[in-house]
A and B are shown apart, each in its own frame.
Chain A
C-alpha cells in the first residue's frame, strides 16, 4: 500500500488554467467589441466618436445611425448567436459523449431550415391579417417554430417511461433530417427565382438583418438557455463515465438530459432563426478549448460561450469589410476559417475521443 509520503506537490491543475482562460477570453471579447464598433464599411470609427463626445460635440446623423442602428445591434446579435452556437455545441458533445456532435443533432437545424423554406415559399398564402401581424418577421418566427417543433418531436420519439435514449435521438434525428430534406426539395421546386435566392442566402447565414427588435426578441431566450446550459457542467463531466455510472455518482441523468436538450433547442433555435444557418462554430470552438485547457465542462461551457462570441463578432467584421460595399454571408466566413481548423483538429486526433 502506498504510504502518504508518496503524495508529492499537488498535480498540475488544468482547472486553474481553464479559469485563467475565463479572464483571457473576457479581455479578448472586450477587444473584439471595440474592433467591431471601430471598423466598418463607412469611415465612422468608435474612437473618433468618443473623442467628439468628450469634446462636447454632437454626433452627426450618419454617425448615430451607423453606431446605434447598424454596428451595435450587429455586435449584440453576433455575440448572442456566437455564444449560443458554441455553448450548444459543447453541451451536445457532452450529452452524446461525442466530440463530433454539433447543435443540429437534436433536430433544430433541420426543423429551422424547413420552417424558413416554408415561410419563404408559401408565406404569401397566409391570410392577410396574419401577414400584417407578423410583418417581415415571418421567416425568423417560422424558423424558430420549426426548430422547436422538430426538437420536441425528437424528444418525444426518444423518451420512454421517462427515460431519454440519446442513441435513439441520434437515429431519429437522421430520419427527421432526411424527411425535412425531402419536404424542402419539394418546396425548392415550387419556388420562383427570387425565392430560391432568398433560400440560398438564408442558408448561408447573415447578420445583415440585425435590428434591436431581433435582439430584444431573441436575446432573453438565448440568455436564459445559455444560463441553463452553464449549470450542466458537473453533470456533463459525470456523464463522460457513461449514463449508469453518472447516476451512481449522484447525477439526475434524465433531468440533465431534458435541461440540455431544451436549452440547446432554445439557444440554437433562436440563433438560427435570426441569423440563418451559420456552421462550424458549434463544433470547432469546444474542440479548440478542450485542446487548450481540458474537457472539464464546468469551465468549458463558459469558455465556449466567450470564444464563440469572439469568433462570430470577428467573422462579422470580416464579412462586412472584405468586399465592401457589398457583404459576404457570414456562413461563408465561418466555413472558410472553420474548415481548415476542423481538418487540423481531425489530423491531430490522438487521444481526443474514446478508444
Chain B
C-alpha cells in the first residue's frame, strides 16, 4: 500500500493528532498551538482537495479500517459527496479559526484549539464513514466537542443555552441508538451498503418495524438539521455561542442534511419495501415550514446574531425542499446550495461579531446607536453577507435558489406541488430582504445622539468574513464546474449499487 491509499483516513487522523498537541502546547507556547491548529486545518484542506480530484473520475474509494473486510469491519467511503463535504469543512474551519485568532477569543480559555480540532475530527469522520454505528460515534465526537466549544467563554447566557443544547442532543442520541438497534435486529448488519442489500429481504411481518426505524433515523437527522418542529434548540444555542464558533456551527445543521442524503437513498431506497423513501412524504412539508419559520425569524430577530441563527434555519429549510425531491436534478441543486448556505451563514455570524465589536455598548442589537468607526466598511460587509444569505445576485445564493426552483418544476411526481415550492422560496426571499434591510438600516443608517465609540486599532477582523464572501463570489463565477460536480455527486448518491460494488466487492451487487 502506498501513502495515497491511506488518504481517506487522513482527514480523521490529522485533527486527532493535532488536538492533543495543541492541548500540550497551549499553556507554554500558545503561538505554537495556534500554528499547529492552522497547519492541521491546511493539511485537511489539502487532503480534501486531493480527494475531491480523485473522486472526480467517479471512483468510490473504500478504506477498510484495520484491513477487516467490509461487512464485518468498519469502512470509510470517499466519494464525490464526501469529498465536497470534507473540502467545505476544512475551508470553513480555516475561516472560523482565523476569525477566532484575530479577535483573540481563542485565548479566553485553555481548550479552544483542542476542542476545535476534535470538532473537525467528528465532522470529517461523519462525512467519511460507511458504517451506521460509526456514524453515531462520530456524531457523538462532534457533539461532545461542540458542547465544549459552545460553552467557550462561559457566562450565564451561554450556560443557560448550553443546558438545553446538551439535553436536546442527549435525547437525540438515545433515539439514534434505538433506530440503530432496530435496524441491526432486522438486518444483522451495520454497514450501510450491506444494509441496503439486506432490507430487500426482510420478512413482511417485520416491514412495520423497518418503517419505524427509517422514520426514527430520519427524525434524529432532522433534529440535527433543525427542521421544524425540532428547531427550537438552535437559535438560543447559536446566538449564545462565541461568533467564531457559531460560524463553524453553520456546518452542524448540514451534517443532519448530509446524513439524510447519504442514508435514505442507500438504505431506504427503492428496494426497501414498506420503508422505501419512508421519510420523503414528511420531509417536504416540514422543509417548507422550516424555510418559512426561519426567514420569518430573520424578520423578527432583535440582534444580528439571532438573525444569523434564524437565517441558518431558513436556509436549511430551503435546502431540504430541494433534497425532498430525491431526483438527480433537485439533489444537485441542493448540494450546490448546501456549500453556498454554509459559507453564507458563517459569513453572517462573523459580520455580526465585527459589528458588535465596534459598537461596544450597543453590541449587535438591531437598533440605532451612537456613531461608530468603520460604519461604511462594516455596512458594506453586512450588505454583502445579507445578499449572499438571501440569495440575490451577484453572489452564489442566487444561482443556488435558481437551480432549486428550476429543478422543482421538472419533477414529474410532484404535479402541482412545485407551485408551493416556488411560493415558499420566493416568499421567504422577500421576507428575508425586508428583514435584513430593516436591520441594516437601523444599525448602519441611523445614528442616535451620543459620543462615538472609540475606534478599534485595526481592521484585521474584516479578514475572515471577507474571505468567506470572496469564496462565495468565486462559487458564483465557477458555478459551471461546481454544478457539474454537484450533479455528478447527486447521480452517485442516487446509485447505491455503485457504492455497494466499491464497498463489498464486485460480486456482491
Chain A bound to chain B: no
The interface of chain A, by Cβ under 8 A from chain B, is none
The interface of chain B, by Cβ under 8 A from chain A, is none
